[in-house]
Amino acid sequence: MKILVCISSVPDTTARIAFEEGNTRLAKAGIQYIIGPYDDYALARAVELKETLGGTVTVLNVGQADAEPQIRKALAIGADDAVRIDAEPSDSYFVASEIAAYARDKGFDLILMGRETTDYNSGVVHGMVGEMLGIPSFSPVMELNLDGNKVLISKEIEGGKEKLETSLPVVLGCQEPIAEWKIPSMRGIMGARTKPLAVVAPSSEALTDISSYALPPAKGAVKMIPAEEAGSLIRLLQTEAKVL
């Protein structure tokens, strides 16, 4: 089993977001970066599959050098080798093209990703990579089991879930509870230092450009209603907020 796991490096989910240089850049100072929370589930399932079925797990990140601690963490969790495509990942099509270009002739059986990144929340890179490689793609996947060439997945749909059977090779966007996040062991961390991490130059172009960023307007003050008069809230929602 040859598995490719694509990980993004994103601000911690509690990070305070601010911009600098005339709102043209994220203010990175003080932000802790993490492996995308959904990508972390994909990685955990990949390592589990390798442990039960044998094979290799390669991690791939499209990002700059500051993503390397996250890549090393993925190696410490159990990936065998890593590749970093050296570029700012600002456009979904660009990221997908880079992943597809890398994966095209490597014979991966499974390409696992997260359901979406937590910075741009696009949820499209898996579908794009599937189309570029001419193989199926599914997301968001909550369960993944393999039986020879058969792939059994459970996918979240609106209001429930759907079980599907498809075949390898396939691209999946993963979410909980596909696996439990793994914490690297001391041995894993030591071993990760010497695992191969190749840095590759990008070969494609972006189809979108971000010109500026903005923060949402500040929320007005909260109006408190005494618990004894809770019922009066409903009238306010009707006449003042006009949402009923």
Partner 1 sequence: MNVLILAELADGSIKKNTQEAIFYGAQVAAQAGGSATVLAIGEALEGELARAGNFGAAKVLYVKKGENSMAYARVVTEVVKSTGATVVVAAKSALADAVLARAAAALKAGFAGNVTALPDTSAGFTVTRSIFSGKAFAQTTITTPVRLLAIKKNVIEVVPTQETASVETLTVDTSAEDGTARVVSVEKASGAVSLPEADIVVSGGRGMKGPEHWQPLLDLADALGAATACSKPVSDLDWRPHHEHVGQTGVKVAPNLYIACGISGAIQHLAGVNSSKVIVVINKDPEAPFFKAADYGIVGDVFEVLPKLTAAVKAL
Ligand X SMILES: Nc1ncnc2c1ncn2[C@@H]1O[C@H](COP(=O)(O)O)[C@@H](O)[C@H]1O
Ligand Y SMILES: Cc1cc2nc3c(=O)[nH]c(=O)nc-3n(C[C@H](O)[C@H](O)[C@H](O)COP(=O)(O)OP(=O)(O)OC[C@H]3O[C@@H](n4cnc5c(N)ncnc54)[C@H](O)[C@@H]3O)c2cc1C
Of residues 48 through 67, those in contact with ligand X by CB under 6 A are: 60-63
What are the residues binding ligand Y (CB under 6 A)? 13, 37
As a whole number of angstroms, the distance between CA 175 and CA 155 comes to 9
| Binding of ligand X by 179 (CB under 6 A) | no
Does residue 2 contact residue 53 with C-beta atoms inside 8 Å? Answer: no
Binding partner selected for residue 78 from partner 1, ligand X, ligand Y, none, CB under the kind-specific 5 to 8 Å limit: none
Comparing CB distances to ligand X, the nearer of 119 and 236 is 119
Site for ligand X in 149-178 (CB under 6 A): none
Binding partner selected for residue 40 from partner 1, ligand X, ligand Y, none, CB under the kind-specific 5 to 8 Å limit: none
Does residue 40 contact residue 48 with C-beta atoms inside 8 Å? Answer: no
Instruction: Report, in Å, the least distance between residue 11 CB and ligand X.
Output: 13
The SS3 assignment for 181 reads: coil
Return the ∠ at Cα 214 (arms to 213 and 215), rounded to 5°: 140
Instruction: Report, in Å, the least distance between residue 202 CB and ligand X.
Output: 11
Look up residue 56 and give its amino acid: T
Which helix (H) or strand (E) segment is 139 a member of?
strand 137-147
> Given the DSSP bridges, would you call strands 150-157 and 110-114 parallel, antiparallel or unpaired?
unpaired
Instruction: Report, in Å, the least distance between residue 230 CB and ligand X.
Output: 40
Comparing CB distances to ligand X, the nearer of 6 and 192 is 6
Site for ligand X in 113-132 (CB under 6 A): 113-114, 116-117, 120-126
Residues 6+ apart with CB under 8 A from 39: 5, 6, 7, 8, 113, 114, 117, 174
As a whole number of angstroms, the distance between CA 229 and CA 213 comes to 42
CB atoms within 10 A of CB 203: 11
**How many amino acids of this chain bind ligand X (CB under 6 A)?**
24
Site for ligand X in 73-102 (CB under 6 A): 89, 92, 95
CA of 133: how far to CAs of 19, 136, 168, in Å?
A: 36, 9, 13
Comparing CB distances to partner 1, the nearer of 40 and 76 is 40
Comparing CB distances to ligand Y, the nearer of 3 and 141 is 141
Site of interaction with ligand X (CB under 6 A): 6-8, 36, 38-39, 60-63, 89, 92, 95, 113-114, 116-117, 120-126
